[in-house]
A and B are shown apart, each in its own frame.
Chain A
Amino acid sequence: DLLQWPQISKCRSPEMETFSCYWTAGNFYNLTAPRIIQLLYKKSNEEDWKECPDYITSGQNSCYFNASYTSVWTPYCVQLASKNDVYDKKCFSVDEIVLPDPPVHLNWTLLNTSQTGIHGDIQVRWDPPPTADVRKGWITLEYELQYKEVNETKWKELKPRLSTMVPLYSLKTARDYEIRIRSRQRTSEKFGEFSEILYVSFSQIGIGCDHCTEEVEFPWFLVVVFGVCGLAVTVISIMLSKQPRLKMLIFPPVPVPKIKGIDPDLLKKGKLDEVNSILACHDSYKTQLYNDDLWVEFIELDIEDPDEKNRASDTDRLLSEDNLKSHGCLGVKDDDSGRASCCEPDIPETDFSASDTCDATSDSDQFKKATEKEEDLLCLDRQDNDKSLPSLANTDPQHQHRNTQSDNSYPWAPFADSIESPHPSVHTQISNQNSLTSTDFYAQVSDITPAGRVVLSPGQKSKLGRAQREGCTEQNFTMDNTYFCEADVKKCIAATSHEENEPHVQEQSYNEDGYFTTESLTTTVANFGASTAEPPSSEMPVADYTSIHIVHSPQGLVLNATALPVPDKEFNVSCGYVSTDQLNKIMP
């Protein structure tokens, strides 16, 4: 054990009239012979040490100096000593060691309560310590009040103040509180001991709020509800507002597919004459596409960008078995909002970017040949040219039908026919076409011949040109709502045709600038007799719209030239495609 010497722990005066000194004895007595400890004191102006006058009043190990021994502003020195040894010494003056007693007679009164009765204000009063002579002004005291709820651990403190009463505001009536007060001499820093705890309970005086046991938490629920409502109101007001700019800013319009210069409503309502005229007027469409340079560019681009070939074309994606869902018109360019609807013939670049799998080299020849010819319906010409194709025979009457009837020449794709005629070649071709169809699926009707034939602008040529032969043969044809641009099919056909050395058909294919009937496609595809013999269960791409006049049994459709009974919203007007399903819906 460590030897602990006796030590003077503290000297304290509660009222500046008396003072006491306290010491600890240590373990000295246990270790050595018991000795008597004395406390000696000396005033500064004295020479001799005097012994403590009172060892008893302040308790054990203490020395009490009463008023007669106390001089307030006189320096004292005390020392703890036994016979020969001085253990400890302290020097001070009484005004420096003033630590008042705690206040007494704490009580509280209710000032008022809130309207809801949840909170209340109280006034706490107390009396100064009885030993301190405040009335004569000998000592001036400051008080510090602390309070807390009964089950809390941390006390809240108020600023020290001179008055012996203080209000406490906004206490919760449902809770009980504890209050304690301590005092100090006004210019000192140290506080005396705390008073006894005062308990505040509102229920005792009948104020307690029985039903408000829960604290009013921050009303998150209300905040969320009102925030959502406000936001909804704001959104609705913006939507309904007449300010177009604001609406544009916050709710940018979702672009609908469109063909530049053509009002979709015209197509819907079947005003084919107007549309035709519009298309015919736009010579610019033609000229662009006839630009050889563009094709060269296409070619170059193809060569330069080997990655493009690796990219799956839209058609590929369409036709691939993994992708049974039709993407509608796989836009040539996804980011072009105005032309999200695929095939805009006036933008060869878009076609170009999309198409990647088609071999450029084969395209150029095809394109060039195609430009020179003018054709209304691919199928007709092809029919004429390809007598060798037996498969075409089926389509002949229908073609004739169509030609005679469709003055306006939005040739319906004889979907049924195309579907019905099982041409494995077609199937494969078309499936191959997938790879080719990186270009758009539209061909623009540039003009209508007096005979009722449609002259298609050469927009599709570029696309077709790039149809890769390999892609044509490789791709499998996917059914079920897959869309193809006839152009793509054409490309495939063209590619294969190129392979098979039948430029004639190719020319045909490319001449119309992208508008083919499925029938024509079928025929062209059939012409080349693709390698695989899979039944073309898939549908042929529909290039454009024509109303179905007569359903010619399973063999085909007779298209109505006049009306365009587009089933409401079943057709993707912009694309110009009719999926198999849609066509099935049309047909009885």
Chain B
Amino acid sequence: MSTKGASLKGLLLVVLLVSHMLLTKEGVTSLPICPNGSVNCQLSLEELFDRAVKLSHYIHFLSSEMFNEFDERYAQGRGFIAKAVNSCHTASLTTPEDKEQAQQIHHEDLLNLILGVLRSWNDPLVHLASEVQRIKEAPETILWKAVEIEEQNKRLLEGMEKIVGRVHSGEVGNDIYTPWDGLPSLQLADEDSRLFAFYNLLHCLRRDSHKIDNYLKVLKCRLIHDNNC
């Protein structure tokens, strides 16, 4: 048995090393592997939250950078800043706006809200990744980030559904969702209008990713560390 255990350990080590290589992306450190669909593999809630926080932080980081680059590249001469006071498509979702509200909301509701926001961004992110490539002379970094954000958002969504499944004993609330109808604005013929649409979208993305990151950290500190991070 000892040899069998040793060989298993060796195999696990190899698997872990390989997975580390595969999983190591910019801003995301290696996380323990749990093969999809594996029943025996049970990550603890702490690990799930760790992963989720890391992903949300990474997404917000990418969004922030993407917005800054876009702002620098396209928005400076166009006075977009003045028009930045707009409403995002997720504004209809009532999310906590300050610390007190975040403290008071129930964690399950908050989790559902997070899920709702993530789901609402699924569609826009897909179109963002495809439409940003049509921008004239779009920098490679913006293109790459758009694709990356879309991908990471999917993963975060999966992780959140897992967490919700763990935390929420009952049914998972699926009804929080805001549709996005901004696609036509991304395809406007007028370049200024089109760029302004992108600018707004990226601005909203940065804000919402920051919200999600904050909510997850609050939840993590509350649920895992008992308000003592």
Q: Is A140 part of the contact surface with B, judged by Cβ < 8 Å?
A: yes
B189 sits at the interface (CB 8 A)? no
Does residue B44 face the partner (Cβ distance < 8 Å to A)?
no
The segment out of B29-37, B122-130, B146-154, B216-224 that lies at the interface is B216-224
Asked whether B217 lies within 8 Å of A16 as measured between CB atoms, the reply is: no
Partner of A136, one of B57, B85, B229: B229
Residues on A with beta carbons closer than 8 Å to the beta carbon of B100: 67
Decide if B57 touches A138 in the complex (CB within 8 Å): no
Question: How many Å lie between the Cα of A17 and that of B82 in the bound state?
Answer: 25
Residues of B within 8 A of A136 (CB): 99, 103, 218, 221-222, 227, 229
Contact A186 B57 (CB under 8 A): yes
The 8 A CB mask of A400-435 against B (1 = contact, 0 = none) is: 000000000000000000000000000000000000
Tell me whether B207 is interfacial, beta carbon within 8 Å: yes
Q: A478-511: contact bitstring with B at CB < 8 Å (1 yes, 0 no)?
A: 0000000000000000000000000000000000
Please report which residues of chain A, range 106-142, place their CB below 8 angstroms from some CB of chain B when the two chains form the complex: 133-138, 140
Residue of A nearest to B221 (CB): A137
Q: Is A388 an interface residue (CB 8 A)?
A: no
Name the contact of A137 in the complex, choosing from B84, B95, B97, B220 (C-beta under 8 A): B220
List the B side residues contacting A93 at CB < 8 Å.
207
The answer on a CB contact under 8 Å between B210 and A138 is: no
Contacts of B81 on A, CB cut-off 8 Å?
91
Chain A, Cβ-Cβ closest to B216: A137
Closest chain B CB from A70 CB (angstroms): 6
A303 within 8 A of B: no
CB closest residue in chain A, given B219 = A137
- Is B175 in contact with chain A by the CB < 8 A criterion? no
Which residues of chain B from 202 to 229 have a CB within 8 Å of any chain A CB?
Answer: 207, 210-211, 213-214, 217-222, 227-229
- A77 at interface, CB cutoff 8 A: yes
B19 at the interface (CB under 8 A from A): no
Does B85 contact A72, Cβ atoms closer than 8 Å?
no
B107 within 8 A of A: no
Contact flags (1/0) for B72-110 with A, using CB distance below 8 Å?
Answer: 000000000110111100000001011110110000000
Which one of B64, B85, B97, B217 contacts A73 once the chains associate, using CB atoms below 8 Å? B97
How long is the Cα–Cα vector from A186 to B61 in the complex, in angstroms? 9
Q: How far is the CA of A248 from the CA of B5 in the complex (A)?
A: 69
B residues 21-74 in Cβ contact with A at 8 Å: 57, 60-61, 64
Contacts of A187 in B (CB 8 A): 57, 60-61, 64, 210, 213
B82: chain A residues within 8 A (beta carbon): 91
Query: Using Cβ atoms and an 8 Å threshold, which residues of chain A touch B228?
Result: 135
Decide if A74 is an interface residue (CB 8 Å cutoff). Answer: yes
CA distance A403 to B58 in the complex (A): 115
Q: Give Cα A137–Cα B95 distance, bound, in whole angstroms.
A: 17
Contact of B102 with A95 in the complex, beta carbons under 8 Å? no
A95 in contact with B207 (CB, 8 Å) = yes
- Assembled-state Cα–Cα distance A138/B57 (Å): 13
Q: Look across to chain B and name the residue whose beta carbon is closest to the beta carbon of A92.
A: B84
Please encode chain B, from 181 to 215, with 1 for each CB lying within 8 Å of some chain A CB and 0 for all others.
Answer: 00000000000000000000000000100110110
Q: Is the CB of A45 closer than 8 A to any CB of chain B?
A: yes
Closest CB of chain B to A188's CB: distance in Å? 9
Is A565 at the interface (CB under 8 A from chain B)?
A: no
Question: Chain B nearest CB: distance from A217 CB in Å?
Answer: 42
Contact A137:B218 (CB < 8 A) given known A67-B100, A72-B98: yes
B207:A77 contact, CB within 8 angstroms: no
CB of A71 within 8 A of chain B?
yes
Whether A91 pairs with B85 at a CB distance below 8 angstroms is yes
A73-B97, A75-B84, A186-B57 as given contacts; A138 in contact with B64, CB under 8 Å: no
The 9 A-B pairs of least Cβ separation, nearest first, read A137-B221, A137-B217, A71-B97, A137-B218, A44-B85, A138-B99, A75-B85, A137-B229, A136-B227
Which residues of A are in contact with B by a Cβ distance under 8 Å? 16-17, 44-45, 67, 70-75, 77, 91, 93, 95, 133-138, 140, 186-187
Instruction: List 10 additional contacts besides A91-B82, A93-B207, A138-B99; criterion CB under 8 Å.
Output: A44-B86, A45-B87, A72-B98, A135-B229, A137-B220, A137-B222, A137-B229, A140-B217, A187-B210, A187-B213
Could you show 18 A-B contacts with beta carbons less than 8 Å apart? A17-B98, A44-B85, A44-B86, A71-B97, A71-B98, A73-B210, A75-B85, A91-B81, A93-B207, A134-B229, A135-B228, A136-B218, A137-B217, A137-B220, A138-B214, A138-B217, A140-B217, A187-B57
